A and B are shown apart, each in its own frame.
Chain A
């Protein structure tokens, strides 16, 4: 297998919640929110990896760590095999770009599209000064906006058009990796489709590698080659898209898929897909972090944190972090198969 474009190892991101002088004076314990709690991830060149999970599971934080907006607490991020440090060179930053969820707040309201794009092109010396305008035009054409849009301010655009401007801004620097954080969830359905199609089209034309962060399973199924499911700061399952959707092994993935409302009228089951609320990332449960909501939970799940594991003998194509991912749903006495030795 060729070297992956992006490689994340043992990533941790913690946010201190009460790191104040008063707390230090009182010698009270420091509370931390573990947004990412040990994540490994690989994306091959040209691949689209989907990262799904519910709000607060750490998926956006992970995306932000990758592009360097956050400095991770621990772990390493490698790009083309090279370890990235916290302070990145401009040339490295250029190669990873991000599209944000909310096109209303992620564009500077006081800059025209020309200024927004032009600034980038000049700072990163992408083209000669006199070619900046031509390149701006080209970029707009790539994302399906007319050249008239160049002198408009963000407020003059609809949500879908703004998201196109955001995408133009992200691809202006010819990135290798595009991190798209919920790029369509703020948009209307009919507009969502056009933006998703645009991303697919750009991916083909520019040979982009993508990390698509989303909570909409249907969107992920349409766009991604491979999908990782996150729960409370961990990846609990990774597989090729079709494999994940047809053969989910982690009970959380199974519940997540069951919970998605379908277009077919009148095929509702009475049973709730996943009971309860996600626990707080400040006070994580012991053992498997899904066990309080898991229908399969056994004693071992309360004690031991399962690591990502592949089925016996198989390659690392389908990984799931469940004690019972690769064995039949346990009867009363479950065999302890995958014991996690890591702390």
Chain B
């Protein structure tokens, strides 16, 4: 396989707070190939959004990258100076945020916001950038683009705003789009529209996608591969079909079991006992061990980096075979 488009290596993000340093992202590695869609899944506070923001140097203060590399096209984005990074941000890599109302500029017409990228990054004239904006609006399915281009964000519905965000993200024909919970704030029927739109745009433009979400079903429908995060670490990666069929980390298994499945109704939902650890503390042993049904003595000491598991996948669990066995006995998905 040729070089991946994006490769995150041992990324660490720290947030210094009065009560101690929060290790929000603690040694995360993954890669995304050209045109690939990777889902980054986990519960709130697991560091998935922080990872995504760190890639483009968009961390909120006082969070900082403490070590690690983000390789994009042979260059390390972490080591890059702010100015050249700005030329990549929005041009080669763009981002879609969860809440379009707060991410869009409320006092700027949406057409101008879409045209801003092509003007700034591609040096297009105002006129051609405007034409490009209309073309993009048509592409993302905004009806009557000429009129809508003159609207302000508050005049549009949630779904339309998210379409505007997607148009902005696509405006400079990037190689990679980072999506941070793009549909979480939307209703199901609108979520369905936006996800289908993302799928068809991927097919049309061949853009690669990293999709951060807490919704496993969204990943199942839109991604090729996934990385599951827990307490600042990636605990499992693999192709979506493989991981759903046979999770090899107990956290992945627990997460999948606790989602009320639309197609299979169980008497009572499985849940993961306990709560995620506080990321200020230092860890001894596997971070999931206190909540894990398969935990043994050997889980309580040492470190648990990702290692290669059967089928070209990676898991951090040393008892992954037991976990896979449990999934074989009682499959997670009804008919994968």
Query: Which chain A residues have a beta carbon within 8 Å of chain B's beta carbons?
Result: 54-55, 158, 160, 188-194, 196-197, 200, 215-219, 221-222, 255-256, 258-268, 270-275, 277-278
Once the chains bind, are B262 and A277 in contact (CB under 8 Å)?
A: no
CB of A188 within 8 A of CB of B192, answer no
A277→B162 CA distance, assembly (Å): 13
| Alpha-carbon separation in the docked complex, A258 to B333 (Å) | 18
Chain A proximity of B14: nearest CB distance (Å): 23
State which of A221, A256, A265 has its C-beta within 8 Å of the C-beta of B244. Answer: A265
CA distance A261 to B218 in the complex (A): 6
- What residues of A have a CB within 8 angstroms of the CB of B258 in the complex? 189-190, 192-193
A273 to B216, CA, bound (A): 19
Tell me if B217 and A189 are in contact (CB < 8 A).
no
Q: A190-B255, A264-B336 are in contact. Are A259 and B43 (CB under 8 A)?
A: no
Question: How distant is B225 from chain A, measured CB to nearest CB, in Å?
Answer: 10
The answer to whether A259 and B259 touch (CB under 8 A), given A188-B43, A197-B269, is no
Question: Are the CB atoms of A270 and B262 closer together than 8 Å?
Answer: no
| Given A190-B272, A273-B189; 10 other pairs, CB 8 A cutoff | A188-B214, A189-B215, A196-B260, A197-B271, A216-B260, A262-B263, A265-B241, A268-B199, A270-B200, A271-B196
Question: Can you give 12 contacting A-B residue pairs, CB < 8 Å?
Answer: A188-B214, A189-B216, A192-B260, A193-B269, A222-B265, A222-B266, A259-B188, A260-B188, A261-B195, A261-B220, A263-B263, A270-B199
A266 touching B240, Cβ below 8 Å: yes
Interface residue total, chain B, C-beta cutoff 8 A = 49
B173 contacts partner chain A, Cβ-Cβ < 8 Å? no
Bound Cα distance A192, B260 (Å):
9
Contact B254 A218 (CB under 8 A): no
Contact check, A263 vs B332: say whether CB atoms are below 8 A apart. yes
| Chain B contacts for A194, CB-based, 8 A | 271
- One digit per residue, 1 when the CB lies within 8 angstroms of any chain A CB and 0 when it does not, for chain B 12-48 equals 0000000000000000000000000000000110000
Nearest neighbor of A196 in chain B, beta-carbon distance: B269
Instruction: Determine if B240 and A255 form an interchain contact, defined as CB atoms under 8 angstroms apart.
Output: no
Task: Mark out the residues of chain B between 180 and 218 whose CB falls within 8 Å of any chain A CB in the assembled complex.
Answer: 187-193, 195-196, 199-200, 214-218
B241: which A residues are within 8 A, CB to CB?
Answer: 265-266
B221 at interface by CB-CB < 8 Å: yes
**Residue pair B260, A275 in contact (C-beta under 8 Å):** no
At the interface, yes or no: B135 with Cβ under 8 Å from chain A?
no
Q: How far is the CA of A210 from the CA of B240 in the complex (A)?
A: 37
Top 9 closest pairs, chain A to chain B, by CB: A259-B192, A261-B217, A193-B271, A193-B269, A54-B187, A193-B258, A218-B260, A274-B189, A188-B43
A54 touches B188 (CB 8 A): yes
